[in-house]
């Protein structure tokens, strides 16, 4: 019998781990001379959640509650563990979700601790130790051809990058700068604001550029965003299954970035259409135990996140190539895949770095 066909009723759900991206946020950086994507449209600040992003957290919280009513709910703050990245938008996201779940009980507002290191000391997101310039790495692969028609008549990714710099009135923008500027268009889309004309006129080519750039960046940064996070989650799963925790054992929430989710999906060899999650995209790990023989399994599901119109995508089984394309894995095998993940060799070579060593804050 394949793992997908095992009777779920035999496996009691003990805990739910959620690794998710933050909600809709303002652009993180603005091209200084470009008026069509401008800070005045985002009064809460660059990189912070927008007002719509906050409101969408509230609705997504209810969706999660409907999926896991016994685990993701507002009934007992002691059964929840929350780890946010050092970034304000990640902290704001889980704060809004917890508010939606815990502010309507008979006792009024209840509070849940959120664990987050101070800025610069979060090894789950630190690229300290990256031995190079990301723009130069991007430049090396930018000779790939551009097949989509575009008004710049760009034949290569490099030529399209030059076109983007011109459109953003940023002639000195690096490859990574241009990538971030194009990423800012996404915020306008989700906020219902006008998109730059050069973008709508060349949408297919520019989206292809963005995804090509994203994959290039992830290839370089994934060890830094995946190694420690996957190890930390695996350790906590082990503690939950072994009954070592008296608090924070039913819902363990990790509020992070698209880079973290993409790095996790790569390490898990996940079969997904596009490894870049939308806002509030999430991986759900269902920790289950067989009621007859005590065996432990984990069912994984993936939600690509919010659509621009505010709809939230459905969960789908997260099939993994290493696991015979099943979304259910024995815990021992999943633990090995997460703890001794594909990033071990890279990161072990950087152990002398103060933010990536075992003494860094988790």
Which phi-psi region, left, alpha or beta, contains residue 147 (left: φ > 0; alpha: ψ -120 to 50)? alpha
Quote the percentage of the chain above a pLDDT of 90: 78
List the structure tokens of 241.
């299954």
Distance, in Å, from the CA atom of 293 to the CA atom of 267, rounded to the nearest integer, reads: 30
Cβ–Cβ < 8 Å for 20, 229? no
Cβ–Cβ < 8 Å for 85, 116? yes
Mean pLDDT, the chain, whole residue set: 91
Mean pLDDT of 232-261: 97
Helix (H) / strand (E) element for 251: namely strand 251-256
Categorize the per-residue pLDDT at 351 as very low, low, confident or very high, splitting at 50, 70 and 90: low
Going by C-beta distance under 8 Å and a sequence separation of 6 or more, which residues neighbour residue 139?
158, 175
Going by C-beta distance under 8 Å and a sequence separation of 6 or more, which residues neighbour residue 197?
none
Q: What is the pLDDT of residue 360?
A: 45
Of the candidates 149, 142, 146, the one whose C-alpha atom is nearest the C-alpha of residue 178 is 142
Cβ–Cβ < 8 Å for 299, 286? yes
Q: What is the pLDDT of residue 290?
A: 96
Q: Is 173 exposed, middle or buried (0-12, 13-18, 19+ CB in 10 A)?
A: buried
Mean pLDDT of 229-257: 97
Q: Strand pairing partners for 20?
A: 255, 282
Domains of the chain as residue ranges with CATH: 3-125+225-348 (3.40.50.1240), 134-214 (no CATH)
List the structure tokens of 148.
């989509």
* pLDDT tens string 172-222: 999 999 999 999 999 999 999 999 999 999 998 999 899 999 999 999 999
Q: What is the pLDDT of residue 53?
A: 98
Q: What is the pLDDT of residue 105?
A: 62
Of the candidates 241, 272, 320, the one whose C-alpha atom is nearest the C-alpha of residue 17 is 241
Q: What is the pLDDT of residue 148?
A: 81
Q: In this predicted structure, which of 78-82, 106-110, 204-208, 239-243 has the lowest mean pLDDT? A: 106-110
Could you give the 3-state DSSP secondary structure of residue 93?
Answer: helix
Q: What is the pLDDT of residue 110?
A: 82
Whether residue 93 is predicted with pLDDT greater than 90 in this model: the reply is yes
* pLDDT tens string 116-149: 998 888 989 988 778 778 999 999 999 888 878 8
Categorize the per-residue pLDDT at 7 as very low, low, confident or very high, splitting at 50, 70 and 90: low
List the structure tokens of 215.
């994959």
Distance, in Å, from the CA atom of 344 to the CA atom of 234, rounded to the nearest integer, reads: 14
Q: What is the pLDDT of residue 255?
A: 98
The CA-atom distances, in angstroms, between 352 and each of 128, 319, 335 are 11, 36, 26
Q: What is the pLDDT of residue 8?
A: 65
> Which is more confident, 142 or 256?
256
Q: What is the pLDDT of residue 307?
A: 97
Distance, in Å, from the CA atom of 122 to the CA atom of 130, rounded to the nearest integer, reads: 15
Could you give the 3-state DSSP secondary structure of residue 330?
Answer: strand
Q: In this predicted structure, which of 73-87, 121-135, 274-288, 333-347 has the lowest mean pLDDT? A: 121-135
Categorize the per-residue pLDDT at 152 as very low, low, confident or very high, splitting at 50, 70 and 90: confident
Count of C-beta atoms within a 10 Å radius of residue 130: 16
Mean pLDDT of 347-360: 58
């Amino acid at each position: 019998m394949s793992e997908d066909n095992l009777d779920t009723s035999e496996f009691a759900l003990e805990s739910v781990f959620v690794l998710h991206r933050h909600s809709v946020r303002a652009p993180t950086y603005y091209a200084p001379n470009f008026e069509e994507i401008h800070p005045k449209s985002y009064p809460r600040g660059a990189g912070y959640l927008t007002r719509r992003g906050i409101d969408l957290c509230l609705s997504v919280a209810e969706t999660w509650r409907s999926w896991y009513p016994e685990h993701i709910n507002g009934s007992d703050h002691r059964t929840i563990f929350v780890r946010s990245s050092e970034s304000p938008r990640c902290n704001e996201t889980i704060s809004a979700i917890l508010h939606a779940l815990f502010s309507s009980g008979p006792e009024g507002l209840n509070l849940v601790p959120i664990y987050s290191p101070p800025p610069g000391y979060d090894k789950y997101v630190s690229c300290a130790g990256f031995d190079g310039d990301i723009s130069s790495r991007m430049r090396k692969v930018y000779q790939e051809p551009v097949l989509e028609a575009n008004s710049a008549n760009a034949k290569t990714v490099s030529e399209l990058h030059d076109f983007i710099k011109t459109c953003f009135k940023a002639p000195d923008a690096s490859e990574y700068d241009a990538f971030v500027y194009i990423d800012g268009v996404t915020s306008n889309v989700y906020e219902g604001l006008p998109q730059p004309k050069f973008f709508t006129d060349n949408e297919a080519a520019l989206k292809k550029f963005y995804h090509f750039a994203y994959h290039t960046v992830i290839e370089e940064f994934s060890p830094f965003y995946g190694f420690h996070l996957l190890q930390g989650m695996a350790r906590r799963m082990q503690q939950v299954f072994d009954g070592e925790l008296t608090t924070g054992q039913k819902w363990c929430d990790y509020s992070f970035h698209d880079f973290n989710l993409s790095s996790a999906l790569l390490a898990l060899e996940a079969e997904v259409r596009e490894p870049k999650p939308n806002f509030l995209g999430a991986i759900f790990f269902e920790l289950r135990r067989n009621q007859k023989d005590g065996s432990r399994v984990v069912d994984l599901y993936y939600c690509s996140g919010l659509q621009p119109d505010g709809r939230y995508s459905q969960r789908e089984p997260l099939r993994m190539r290493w696991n015979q394309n099943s979304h259910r894995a024995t815990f021992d095998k999943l633990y090995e895949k997460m703890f001794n993940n594909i990033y071990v060799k890279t990161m072990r070579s950087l152990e002398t770095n103060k933010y990536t060593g075992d003494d860094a804050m988790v």
